[in-house]
């Protein structure tokens, strides 16, 4: 931004300088030519005084011609009888035109001729004084150098002033950009010290207010989620008491395990809601271990529905950049979708495929997913429509993505692609 502002100032100054200095340079050249021609006419008139009429004096005429020659203005006097005196350059058509009584200047090679007719008793005498190009341009180069120096000084001053102004503005904008990037990265405590021009300072104050507002809203949302999650403890406690009253020990143990899992999920939800997102960065887990554990949990319900369950998990450790609770929750959502929205006896498959990325796959042989089922908040099966979005956010937290397509079993295949930790 700083070089751009400096270049912009230099461009504007250059336009102004061209608009003023070019006419001044042309004017300086015109003035130099006019001064030289005036001097040439003066010399021609000095000779013309002795060239004709009652004052004709050959001795003085010759002296005046020699004086002009010595002064770098070669002069020729063309008499009516065809003879000439002074500069030996030949007679030209311009001299013949001047003999008709017309005074003028004519451009020739090497300069300008000043032609002055003088009427006399024997006819018209023409005085021709030559003004060379060197004299026509005398002082022009110096004047142009002075104008160029003025332009350079003005450009330098513009660059210096523009750089100081641009440094102030760009520093304020860089600070705004840095704070905006920190806020975007989750650092809600980032604030900027408003500085620079009034407009930039106003943006800084608005950005500070926005960061404070976002922090307040996020804190309120976390507290609300935590409160709602904490309220679940009461019905869960009641459910645990009811389970303890079951007479069948095996049934009581099975349901107690389910209740314990529910309590653990509620506790994880409370902790997740209260801790900032930045504190969860750097989490990792063994994807293969998580899938094995969750497969054992869901195998009971799959067996109750007479649903074939295939688990293909390698023995290797496959670390991914997602917390075990988050990956387990995402896997639970995907498996629950299959168990809820496909008919009983529909095959279900869980798999972990090593590589880069590591792929966690949930596949079924059901009717598949409609396009609307993949959008957040929309479902064609009467659910909340948030299950796939939970899995998607889990994959993105680990730097991966969620892929939904049709698998070899004929139904939906949902894949969490997670880069290795």
pLDDT digits (tens, 9 = 90+) for 121-178: 778 889 999 999 988 888 888 999 998 998 899 888 888 887 777 777 778 878 888 8
Which among 314, 319, 340 has a CA at the least distance from the CA of 398? 319
The per-residue pLDDT for 103 is 92
List pLDDT tens digits, range 229-274.
666 766 777 787 788 888 888 888 878 887 777 777 777 766 665 5
Tokens found for residue 371: 């396009």
pLDDT at position 370 over 80: no
Cα separation of 323 and 276, whole Å? Answer: 14
Window from 9-23, 203-217, 290-304, 368-382 with minimum mean pLDDT: 368-382
pLDDT at position 65 over 50: yes
Tokens found for residue 311: 């688990």
pLDDT band for position 10 (50/70/90)? confident
What's the burial of 247, exposed, middle or buried (CB within 10 Å: 0-12/13-18/19+)? Answer: exposed
Q: Within the chain, how many helices (H) and strands (E) appear?
A: 11, 12
pLDDT at position 30 over 70: yes
pLDDT band for position 358 (50/70/90)? very high
Residue keyed to tokens 């998607």: 392
The per-residue pLDDT for 377 is 45
Helix axis angle, 249-274 to 324-341, nearest 10°: 120
Name residues whose C-beta falls within 8 Å of residue 21's C-beta, 6 or more positions apart in sequence.
Answer: 147, 148, 150, 151
Q: Summarize the confidence of residues 91-109 as an average pLDDT.
A: 91
Which among 361, 348, 349 has a CA at the least distance from the CA of 418? 361
pLDDT at position 371 over 70: no
285-418 CATH: 3.30.565.10
Instruction: Please give the share of the chain, as a percent, with pLDDT higher than 90.
Output: 23
Tokens found for residue 106: 């004519």
Enumerate the H helices of 93-139 as residue ranges: 93-98, 133-136
282 Ramachandran zone, left/alpha/beta (phi>0; psi -120 to 50):
left
Residue keyed to tokens 């976002």: 214
Supply the mean pLDDT for the chain: 83
Cα separation of 6 and 28, whole Å? Answer: 31
What's the burial of 421, exposed, middle or buried (CB within 10 Å: 0-12/13-18/19+)? Answer: middle
Residue keyed to tokens 């529909």: 346
Do residues 37 and 4 lie in contact, with contact meaning Cβ atoms separated by under 8 Å? no
Cα separation of 35 and 97, whole Å? Answer: 25
More confident residue, 382 or 256: 256
Do residues 322 and 283 lie in contact, with contact meaning Cβ atoms separated by under 8 Å? yes
- Exposure string over 324-341, b if 16+ CB within 10 A, otherwise e: bbbbbbbbbbbbebbbeb
What is the model's pTM? 0.45
The per-residue pLDDT for 384 is 44
| Domain extent listing, the chain | 2-138, 142-229, 232-280, 285-418
The per-residue pLDDT for 27 is 92
Do residues 118 and 51 lie in contact, with contact meaning Cβ atoms separated by under 8 Å? yes
The per-residue pLDDT for 208 is 87
The per-residue pLDDT for 374 is 53
Distances (CA, A) of 202 to 166, 206, 213: 18, 6, 16
Cα separation of 348 and 413, whole Å? Answer: 10
List pLDDT tens digits, range 176-232.
888 888 888 777 788 888 887 788 788 888 888 888 888 888 777 777 766 666 667
pLDDT at position 388 over 90: no
The per-residue pLDDT for 1 is 60
Which among 214, 147, 141 has a CA at the least distance from the CA of 183? 214
2-138 CATH: 3.30.450
First to last CA, the chain: 38
The per-residue pLDDT for 277 is 52
């Amino acid at each position: 931004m700083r070089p751009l502002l400096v270049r912009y100032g230099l461009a504007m100054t250059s336009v102004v300088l061209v608009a003023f200095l070019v006419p001044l340079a042309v004017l300086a050249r015109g003035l130099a030519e006019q001064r030289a021609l005036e001097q040439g006419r003066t010399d021609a008139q000095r000779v013309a005084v002795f060239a004709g009429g009652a004052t004709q004096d050959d001795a003085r005429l010759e002296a005046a011609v020699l004086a002009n020659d010595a002064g770098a203005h070669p002069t020729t006097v063309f008499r009516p009888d065809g003879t000439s005196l002074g500069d030996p350059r030949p007679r030209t058509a311009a001299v013949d035109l001047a003999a008709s009584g017309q005074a003028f200047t004519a451009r020739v090679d090497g300069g300008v001729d000043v032609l002055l007719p003088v009427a006399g008793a024997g006819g018209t005498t023409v005085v021709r004084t030559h003004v060379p190009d060197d004299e026509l341009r005398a002082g022009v180069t110096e004047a142009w150098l002075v104008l160029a120096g003025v332009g350079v000084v003005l450009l330098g001053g513009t660059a210096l002033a523009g750089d100081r102004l641009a440094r102030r503005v760009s520093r304020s904008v860089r600070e705004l950009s840095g704070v905006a990037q920190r806020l975007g990265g989750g650092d809600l405590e980032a604030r900027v010290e408003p500085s620079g021009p009034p407009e930039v300072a106003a943006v800084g104050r608005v950005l500070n207010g926005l960061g404070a507002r976002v922090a307040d809203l996020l804190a309120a949302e976390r507290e609300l989620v935590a409160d709602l999650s904490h309220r679940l403890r009461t019905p869960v406690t009641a459910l645990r008491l009811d389970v303890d009253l079951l007479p069948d020990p095996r049934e009581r143990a099975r349901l107690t395990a389910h209740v314990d899992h529910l309590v653990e999920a509620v506790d994880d939800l409370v902790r997740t809601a209260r801790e900032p997102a930045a504190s969860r960065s750097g989490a990792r887990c063994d994807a293969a271990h998580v899938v094995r554990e969750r497969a054992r949990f869901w195998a009971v319900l799959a067996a109750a529905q007479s649903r074939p369950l295939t688990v293909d998990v390698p023995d290797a450790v496959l670390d991914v950049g997602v917390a075990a609770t988050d990956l387990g929750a995402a896997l639970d959502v995907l498996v629950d979708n299959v168990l809820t929205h496909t008919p009983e006896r529909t095959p279900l498959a869980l798999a972990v495929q090593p590589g880069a990325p590591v792929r966690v796959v949930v596949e079924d042989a059901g009717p598949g997913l409609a396009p609307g089922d993949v959008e957040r908040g929309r479902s064609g099966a009467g659910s909340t429509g948030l299950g796939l979005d939970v899995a998607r956010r889990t994959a993105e937290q680990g730097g991966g993505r969620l892929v939904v397509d049709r698998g070899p079993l004929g139904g939906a295949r949902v894949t969490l692609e997670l880069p290795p930790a």
